[in-house]
Structure 1
Amino acid sequence: MRGELRVAPFDPEAPNLQPGGAVWAGERRYPIRGSRPAGGGAWLLALEGVSSRDEAEALRGALLEVPDAELRRSSEDAYFVFELLGLRVVTDSGHVLGVIEEVLATGANDVYVVRSGEREILVPAIGEVVQSVDLTAGEVRITPLPGLFDDSP
């Protein structure tokens, strides 16, 4: 394992973990020398300044971060969780459901946890439901699936 780090990125396509990029661990910046998929959504990273198993062990459990200004999206319609938190969720008929409080990664698709007062609504982040995300307006427009928000048993 010659100084490589096994990491679990939030985005399994890992566009921010490519050679030429960099990650931060605390106050230290580590340029990425190489990266490759390791299976199960994990990646192996080779970082400048980390060339031995001991140096890699020193980073075990560290949170590796990429500054906002350096983030790259895996696709045009991909958003980072921090961008979605606090956005209003509005139906196509104009009804405000609440704000996104959390994003759950379920494996199949993400789910937005939308809160309005004491009420919590789970909104699947799928193309049939999410029509648009407007970060400037602070809004996510959705078309609810039939029965999705029905309060009846």
Structure 2
Amino acid sequence: MPIRRLLAALAIVGMLASGVGIASMLIFSKPTQQQTTAPKRTPPTPPPPSVPTAKEFLIGVNVTAQECAPAGTCLYTYTIDPRYVGLHPFPPTPFTVEYEVTGGVAPQPGKFTVADQKANILKDVQVEGPPGAQLSANVLRVTGEATG
């Protein structure tokens, strides 16, 4: 029996020594070249400025006033809220976004110009429509000089 105990003790000491050796090697060793050199990633180049397409604009319609006559026709006052959802920068030259507001008696055309990153829009535009009309805007086209 004493030989078995001696061999068991030697096995335990050997396992502890190898565990300590592996742990110290992991802690104190220098990282390899592969671990320290990550591939350098360059950010993607931004797209060049260009005239946006009609799909890159969403236009909300904010109704600011409503007057309804007893005959059933209402006069709505609204202001549009254009939003650009494209990814490329605007061109340095002005461009025009043409749209129409629907939901009234007849579609009402409108347009605004974008210059120097700012849109010049009309406020408090009026349109006739039925009571409870839901006004919305559809972008028809964007016109301007192509650059680039």
Give yes or no for TM over 0.5.
Answer: no
> Normalized against structure 2, the TM-score is what?
0.23
Q: What is the TM-score with the length of structure 1 in the denominator?
A: 0.23
Look at both structures and tell me which one has the larger radius of gyration over its CA atoms: 2
Asked which structure has the greater RCO (Cα within 8 Å, sep 6+), the reply is 2
